């Protein structure tokens, strides 16, 4: 149990570190994600080939998995766009709303009633975002993009539950990231046209940051997360995942001193969002306990 918790916290810490790397890398958000996925996919295929874990999937299922991977790549593009247009703290704060957005959006996909308490908690989190927005108007564009990033990751989560089944997490990850890379590659000419961008190649230091982002913050975190998943409850996993923005914001304050550029009301809004997320996690824990049936 202890080693599983250490693996999980290490994975969450590394996920929080992705925002720091996004600010360090000089590429724009589109090419940053493209190069990240390019390096990640190569590493994954080598690891899976050497470990003999490659499992064939049907063409129809690959298209489904790849389409979800493309939405995932758009989530990353929006996340790093939020960092470029605002900063790491703003982007991660917006990402902290993912759990509550999921609680509100999933009922629409699975045709079940929206929980009134979850709606109230969502309003609570929305108030936190509003406080951050109106007290940091210089980052308004980054906040818009950050919220779209949060919405995109909720869509990925919902589609994974609704469409993908019958494959191990390892296989889904391999084909989802591969499909996401292919989908993003197809979309890059449109991205370049809309943003008046050209093909960008990493600078010398960018290669180091991209490798760390691809290997440690993507491949290694997946391995750590899957390893922890086998030993820990869903509640523990979800509650620990809420620490990702906390780790990331602390790192952004320590490394880039972003606290100098944020108003004092940022902390009020951030606290409201974290309280809402924590209360939602507590509700999930109670539901799990009430539904628990001991072995006979």
Kindly report the three-state secondary structure assignment for every residue of 119-149.
Answer: HHHHHHHHHHHHHHHHHCHHHHHHHHHHHHH
Residue 295 lies in a domain: no
Helices 140-162, 59-85: axis angle to 10 degrees equals: 160
- Count of CB atoms situated within 10 Å of the CB of 205: 11
Residue 296 lies in a domain: no
Provide the domain limits for residue 132. 2-287
- Count of CB atoms situated within 10 Å of the CB of 23: 18
Residue 15 lies in a domain: yes
Residue 35 lies in a domain: yes
Residue 293 lies in a domain: no
pLDDT in tens, the chain (296 residues): 678 888 888 998 999 999 999 999 999 999 999 999 999 999 999 999 998 888 888 898 899 999 999 999 999 999 999 999 999 999 999 988 887 788 778 887 777 787 778 778 878 888 999 999 999 999 999 999 999 999 999 898 888 877 766 777 888 889 999 999 999 999 999 999 999 999 999 999 999 999 999 999 999 998 888 878 777 766 577 667 778 888 999 999 999 999 999 999 999 999 998 888 888 777 766 765 555 433 33
- Count of CB atoms situated within 10 Å of the CB of 215: 16
pLDDT of 160 reads 81
Residue 130 lies in a domain: yes
Q: Indicate the number of domains in the chain.
A: 1
Q: How far apart are CA 165 and CA 172, in angstroms?
A: 9
CA angle 92, 86, 76 (to 5 degrees): 50
Q: Are 176 and 68 in contact (CB under 8 A)?
A: yes
Residue 175 lies in a domain: yes
Residue 257 lies in a domain: yes
Q: Are 81 and 23 in contact (CB under 8 A)?
A: no
């Amino acid at each position: 149990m202890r080693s599983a918790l250490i693996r999980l916290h290490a994975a969450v810490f590394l996920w929080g570190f992705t925002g720091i790397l996004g600010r360090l890398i000089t590429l724009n958000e589109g090419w940053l994600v493209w190069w990240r996925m390019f390096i990640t996919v190569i590493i994954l295929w080598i690891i899976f080939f050497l470990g003999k874990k490659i499992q064939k999937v049907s063409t129809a299922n690959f298209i489904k998995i790849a389409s979800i991977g493309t939405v995932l790549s758009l989530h990353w593009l929006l996340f790093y766009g939020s960092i470029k247009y605002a900063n790491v703290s703003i982007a991660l704060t917006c990402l902290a709303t993912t759990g509550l957005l999921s609680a509100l959006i999933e009922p629409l996909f699975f045709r079940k009633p929206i929980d009134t308490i979850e709606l109230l908690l969502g309003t609570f989190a929305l108030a936190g975002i509003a406080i951050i927005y109106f007290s940091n108007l210089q980052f308004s564009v980054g906040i818009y993009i950050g919220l779209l990033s949060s919405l995109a990751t909720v869509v990925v989560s919902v589609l994974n539950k609704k469409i993908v089944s019958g494959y191990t997490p390892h296989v889904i990850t391999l084909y989802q990231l591969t499909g996401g890379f292919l989908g993003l590659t197809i979309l890059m000419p449109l991205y370049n046209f809309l943003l008046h961008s050209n093909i960008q190649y990493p600078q010398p230091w960018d290669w180091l940051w991209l490798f760390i982002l691809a290997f440690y913050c993507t491949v290694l975190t997946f391995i750590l997360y899957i390893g922890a998943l086998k030993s820990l409850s869903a509640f523990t996993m979800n509650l620990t995942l809420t620490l990702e923005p906390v780790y990331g914001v602390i790192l952004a304050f320590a490394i880039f001193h972003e606290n100098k550029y944020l108003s004092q009301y940022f902390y009020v809004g951030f606290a409201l969002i974290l309280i809402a997320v924590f209360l939602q996690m507590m509700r999930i824990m109670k539901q799990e306990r009430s539904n628990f049936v001991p072995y006979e």
